[in-house]
Chains A and B, each alone.
Chain A
Amino acid sequence: MRKWESIRDKAIPVLFIILVILIWQLIVDSGIIARYILPSPWDVITVCIAILPEITVHIYTTLQEALTGLLIAITLSVLLAILMDNFTVVKKALQPLLVVSQTIPIMVLAPLFVMWFGFGMLPKVMVVILVCFFPIVVSLLEGLGSLDKDLLNLMKSMKANRWQIFYLAKFPASLGSFFSGLKIAATYSIIGAVIGEWMGGKAGLGVYMTRVRQSFALDKVFASILVIIILSMLLFKLIELIQLLAMPWKRAIK
């Protein structure tokens, strides 16, 4: 019974997406919308496969920027969250600043980064860091604060010091929340890199998109979007896999 339900729960979204794609295909095929305005799903897929050899270098560049930025963002935000959790002064001082940093539109900052840091990898990585940073810090902070108060007292009654309380209890207790933030950050990271690339550069999916858009090759624009979606989802799944490995106690008994 439960198995059937889980199959059903997974099938519903898949069927819905297939339905939407089918309708889209039919609309374009029937000529209601012209092909050069909206390519059909099938066109997008064939173009995508066709251009794959020529865009692998762009995929590689974007992935490199996204992953570099993501790793730096993780390092920085873990350090910052730990500081904020341990020192109320730091928390009080930085919390408003963090929120403000998220209200500045990336589309405004990205050109500034290009002016400051040139057309190399650096400005793209900066954009990625900026978009990934916030969800990780917020979720990790929430997780660190989520430790059961009695458990905290128990650790104290066993004379655990601050560091022991942190790595034996607080940090493991925060992992679930941390990974939720990390998954969001991972999906943002690809888009962040692409936005950075729109402002100029030698390679990357964003650069490629700008080029094909300027030559009105809409099917190639859509193909790049497809690639971006796939990359983001793969990264999401990768984080999910890491989470499963890092939190064996969360795996249900099979």
Chain B
Amino acid sequence: MLRLLLRMIFCQERRISIKLKAEHLKQKYEGMPIIDDISFYLNKNEFVTLIGPSGCGKSTIFNIIAGIVPLDEGKVFIDGKDYTGEQGHVSYMYQKDLLLPWKRVIDNTALPLIIKGEKVGEARKKVTPYLELFGLQGFEYKYPFQLSGGMRQRAALLRTYMFSRDIVLLDEPFGGLDAITRAKMQTWLLQVIEKIKPSVLFITHDIEEAVYLSDRIYVLSARPAKIKEEVQISLPRPREREIVISAQFNRIKKHILSNLS
């Protein structure tokens, strides 16, 4: 009986284990506070969005987690270990696609593997099975400038995923796309996530995008960034596009909107 109970607790613990935890992050640039005591967490296989006004410090939070920007105060835990200020523990996709113009799509997406020391042939072989899922088949030997905006973003996403399938940080991946492509990419991303189940930390300032994609949303204030509210999105998955016009969806949207302004 006790054993069963223990096992249940253990399994429960495993199922919702915390992948990433940020505690009391504080950051100043030239004496000006940018991030003011922010704490949040990300569960395994969860999709969590940070939403906030432009310039509030969202990208800075990601830079801190990725260990690129040294932080003033606070700690970053990954799988329970203190990795504050350390690089290479999360997959990070920047606001810009940052594809290398001089590399073909296949080599751009295989870049993380090549950096890890794999031979080009091997790395290409490992990327190939994912090209279809990411909608890049037939374009693997093209250069980035020959791709459409949506395709470039998908290539950058695949590269991010090839680095680590564990924790993925996505900083406004669809920010530069037109509305139609953007909607398509969101639906596509949902499908991909159903398949590969990563743990995603996402940035956007588009409320609909946040609600449509996320399990949980942190609403940030204007600079200096503070967490105003944590919103659980209990919309069922898998989600169809039509969900964005449902009453429940709009209620959540309205709630966040009133909180943001």
B side interface size, CB within 8 A: 25
Is the C-beta of B96 less than 8 angstroms from some C-beta in chain A? yes
Q: Once A and B bind, how many residue pairs between them come within 8 Å at the CB atom? A: 53
A154 touches B92 (CB 8 A): yes
Within 8 A of B (CB), among A158-179: 158-160, 164, 168-169, 172-173, 175
Chain B window 194-234, contacts with chain A (Cβ cutoff 8 Å), 1 for yes, 0 for no: 00000000000000000000000000000000000000000
B98 touches A158 (CB 8 A): no
Show 8 residue pairs from A and B whose CB-CB distance is below 8 angstroms, ordered by the A residue.
A150-B98, A154-B92, A154-B98, A157-B67, A159-B88, A159-B115, A164-B115, A249-B145
A157-B100 contact given A164-B115, A168-B114, CB 8 Å threshold: no
A172-B115 contact given A157-B88, A158-B163, A249-B143, CB 8 Å threshold: no
Chain B window 76-96, contacts with chain A (Cβ cutoff 8 Å), 1 for yes, 0 for no: 000000000001101010101
- Within the complex, the shortest CB–CB distance from A254 to chain B, in Å, comes to 11
Is the C-beta of B175 less than 8 angstroms from some C-beta in chain A? no
A168 touches B87 (CB 8 A): no
Residues in A with CB closer than 8 Å to B87 are 156-157, 159
B94 touches A158 (CB 8 A): no
Residues in B with CB closer than 8 Å to A173 are 102
Residues in B with CB closer than 8 Å to A253 are 145-146
Residues in A with CB closer than 8 Å to B67 are 157
Residues in B with CB closer than 8 Å to A249 are 101-103, 143-145
The winner among B98, B116, B163 for most chain A CB atoms within 10 A is B98
Q: Which residues of A contact B (CB under 8 A)?
A: 148, 150-151, 153-160, 164, 168-169, 172-173, 175, 247-249, 253
B115 touches A168 (CB 8 A): yes
Is the C-beta of B8 less than 8 angstroms from some C-beta in chain A? no
With A150-B94, A159-B115, A249-B103 given, can you name 17 additional A-B contacts, CB distance below 8 Å?
A150-B98, A153-B63, A154-B92, A154-B94, A155-B115, A156-B68, A157-B66, A157-B67, A157-B90, A158-B112, A158-B115, A159-B116, A160-B115, A169-B100, A175-B102, A249-B102, A249-B144
Whole-angstrom CA separation of A164 from B113 in the bound complex: 12
Is the C-beta of B111 less than 8 angstroms from some C-beta in chain A? yes
Within 8 A of A (CB), among B98-135: 98, 100-103, 111-112, 114-116
Q: Which residues of B contact A (CB under 8 A)?
A: 63, 66-68, 87-88, 90, 92, 94, 96, 98, 100-103, 111-112, 114-116, 143-146, 163
The winner among A156, A158, A168, A248 for most chain B CB atoms within 10 A is A158
Residues in A with CB closer than 8 Å to B98 are 148, 150-151, 154
- Within the complex, the shortest CB–CB distance from B99 to chain A, in Å, comes to 9
Whole-angstrom CA separation of A172 from B156 in the bound complex: 19
Whole-angstrom CA separation of A156 from B98 in the bound complex: 13
User: Nearest A residue to B145 by beta-carbon distance?
Assistant: A249
User: Nearest B residue to A252 by beta-carbon distance?
Assistant: B145
- Within the complex, the shortest CB–CB distance from B53 to chain A, in Å, comes to 22
Whole-angstrom CA separation of A168 from B100 in the bound complex: 9
Whole-angstrom CA separation of A253 from B98 in the bound complex: 21
Whole-angstrom CA separation of A185 from B199 in the bound complex: 53
- Within the complex, the shortest CB–CB distance from B104 to chain A, in Å, comes to 8
A158 touches B100 (CB 8 A): no
Residues in A with CB closer than 8 Å to B116 are 159
B143 touches A157 (CB 8 A): no
Whole-angstrom CA separation of A246 from B220 in the bound complex: 47
Whole-angstrom CA separation of A249 from B143 in the bound complex: 6
Residues in A with CB closer than 8 Å to B101 are 249
Whole-angstrom CA separation of A160 from B117 in the bound complex: 10
- Within the complex, the shortest CB–CB distance from A155 to chain B, in Å, comes to 7
A172 touches B100 (CB 8 A): yes
A153 touches B68 (CB 8 A): yes
User: Nearest B residue to A165 by beta-carbon distance?
Assistant: B115
Whole-angstrom CA separation of A169 from B114 in the bound complex: 13
Whole-angstrom CA separation of A174 from B186 in the bound complex: 36
B163 touches A172 (CB 8 A): no
- Within the complex, the shortest CB–CB distance from A66 to chain B, in Å, comes to 30
User: Nearest A residue to B114 by beta-carbon distance?
Assistant: A168
Whole-angstrom CA separation of A172 from B96 in the bound complex: 19
Which of A150, A155, A159, A160 interacts with B96 by CB under 8 Å?
Answer: A150
- Within the complex, the shortest CB–CB distance from A170 to chain B, in Å, comes to 11
User: Nearest A residue to B90 by beta-carbon distance?
Assistant: A157
- Within the complex, the shortest CB–CB distance from B63 to chain A, in Å, comes to 8
B68 touches A248 (CB 8 A): no
User: Nearest B residue to A161 by beta-carbon distance?
Assistant: B115
- Within the complex, the shortest CB–CB distance from B138 to chain A, in Å, comes to 16
Which of B63, B88, B102, B144 interacts with A158 by CB under 8 Å?
Answer: B88
